[in-house]
Chains A and B, each alone.
Chain A
Amino acid sequence: MSTTDTHRAGPNWPFWVTIAAVTSAYLALLLGMLLATATYSSPHHLIRALGSREIQYATGLSLSTCTVTALLSLVIAVPVGYLMSRGQFRGKNTLDTLLDVPIVLPPMVIGLCLLILFQTPLGRAIDRVVPFTYTVFGVLLAQFTVGAAFAVRQMRTTFDHLPSRPEDVAMTLGCSRGQAVRLVTLPAAKRGMFSAASVAWARSLGEFGPILVFAGATRMKTEVLPTTVWLELSVGNLEAAIAVSLMMVALAVAVLLAMRALGERP
């Protein structure tokens, strides 16, 4: 006996309308925030604020330390990301959790931990040779601690997405593991490496808590752009704080666009 199926699937538009509404609401918050900040003061006032010697020093320090941090992060992220992606060893899960600690720890706590590390006998000995506490090197170390964790995560994802078979083939063709990685895997991971360095750079640009605690907020010494925003706000100079914030937004958007452009390249 045959039966007639009377069921009819419902329309799809309520699903898409709901998704569009949620997306629009979030987008409205982001754009509203940026637009309100951008239009709070006149361009003339903003440009004048950016001309101050302190802000120019902070900009220079931010750009240079972020670049050094991005490169240092990559030096760590490539081998560690490779190990976490391809290595099979006891304690891998524990190591994985440890590597994520800088990502989940409150920023201030990272700064405090660094400060305490440099109060230990070993830390004091290092500090005597290369002074980290309350110096530009401290800014770098604070940025690196967090930035490298993000770069490691990015490189691990990159290696996870690259098949290991070409590397195996290279080894049968006469390569050692190191040669196979250098000649076959790393060239294929170039985009991932750029992406990891960009993530570390962008994270470092916005880093504030660990720098404040570990390197301090001394004008013309350890002042980076987020420190400037905080210092200018604390003395009521809202225009300077806004000018620096907008500059950081522009830099962050530029990095995001560069990453997106590279990611979409065939």
Chain B
Amino acid sequence: MIALEGIAIHAGAFALNDVTFTVPTGAYGVLMGPTGCGKTTLIEIICGLRKAATGRVLVNDRDVTREPPGNRGVGYVPQDGALFPTLTVREQIGFALRIRRQPSEERVAELAEHLGIAHLLDRKPSGLSGGERQRIALGRALAFRPSILCLDEPLSALDEDTKDDMYKLLLAVQQHERVTALHVTHSHEDADRLADVILRIENGKVIT
């Protein structure tokens, strides 16, 4: 479960006040809103990469507002994948497990198989397509079995065919990994294809 309670942010051109919503455990939440309305900022607050002026962030009923990003159990897939440029795909996916000093080989192979990127494991990110990059970013975020998955416009740069494959993959992976997802987008199609719960940012507030 992801819950925001009374979150307020004032940054640059936009302000969000009293943002309160819940995405129930196991649900696929889609947060919609126009460009520049603060969607990415909310994701960053959930991940712990940015502090809110006020309010609380709850992950599975645990208050993580003051926890550093690495202690929140939140997997993060940024817009362009933000792959690590010097690591191979295998090293990227196994990254979180290596940080935890856990064996990574089996989990990396499992995720690579599931995400259809097993043939890319020894490649580095340069030269990979947008769809491949997103699959790798997804595998990297899921490797340590987080309970929450935050996706920031993961499909915005993909062509129609790749997007269609990704819709199916995202739903399959979410169910297989049993994560609660929050997917930020401005695309109605993303919401129609994926959402169990739709949240909208309108006039500086989040409407369920």
Chain A interfacial residues counted at CB < 8 A: 19
User: Is B48 a contact of A172 with CB atoms below 8 Å?
Assistant: yes
B13: shortest Cβ distance to chain A, in Å?
18
| Residues of chain A in range 171-191 having any CB-CB distance to chain B below 8 Å | 171-176, 179, 183-184, 187-188, 190
- A155-179 CB mask vs B (1 if < 8 Å, else 0) is 0000000010110111111111001
Residues of A within 8 A of B (CB): 163, 165-166, 168-176, 179, 183-184, 187-188, 190, 266
Q: Which 6 A-B pairs have the closest CB atoms?
A: A165-B82, A173-B96, A187-B86, A174-B70, A174-B99, A172-B76
For residue B49, CB closer than 8 A to chain A, the reply is yes
Q: Per a CB cutoff under 8 Å, which of B48, B70, B85, B141 touches A175?
A: B70
Chain B proximity of A14: nearest CB distance (Å) = 41
Check if B28 is an interface residue, CB within 8 A of chain A. Answer: no
Once A165-B78, A168-B78, A179-B99 are accepted as A-B contacts, the answer to whether A174 and B85 lie under 8 Å apart by CB is no
Q: How far is it, in angstroms, between the C-alpha of A174 and the C-alpha of B144 when the chains are bound? A: 9
Q: Which B residues form the contact surface with A (CB < 8 A)?
A: 44, 47-49, 68-70, 72, 74-76, 78, 80, 82-87, 95-96, 99-100, 126, 137, 140-141, 144
A171 — which chain B residues lie within 8 A by C-beta?
Answer: 48-49, 68-70
B68 contacts which chain A residues (CB < 8 A)?
Answer: 171, 176
Which residues on B sit within 8 Å (CB–CB) of A266?
Answer: 126
Q: Name A188's closest neighbour in chain B (CB-CB).
A: B85
Q: B86 touches which one: A170, A174, A188 (CB < 8 A)?
A: A188
> Could you list 18 A-B pairs, sorted by A, with CB under 8 Å?
A165-B80, A166-B82, A166-B84, A168-B47, A168-B49, A169-B137, A169-B141, A171-B49, A172-B47, A172-B72, A172-B75, A173-B99, A173-B144, A176-B70, A184-B86, A188-B84, A188-B85, A266-B126
